[in-house]
A = this chain, B = another copy of it.
Amino acid sequence: MICATLDLIANKWAVPIILTLARARAASPAPNGVPPLRFSELSRAIPLITQKELTKQLRALETAGLVGRRVHAAVPPKVEYWLTDLGLSLRPVLDELGKWAAKNGPRLARPNSKQADSARQEAAE
Binding site for B on A (CB under 8 A): 1-10, 12, 15, 59-65, 69-74, 86, 89-90, 92-94, 96-98, 100-102, 104-120, 122-125
Contact = CB atoms under 8 A, between A and B. Distances in A.
A92 B120 CA distance: 26
A72 B46 CA distance: 49
Given A97-B93, A120-B62, A5 B86 contact: no
A92 B61 CA distance: 24
Contacts of A101: 1-2, 4-5
A16 to B, nearest CB: 9
Contacts of A8: 108, 111
A86 B71 CA distance: 46
Contact of A125 (B5, B73, B86, B96): B73
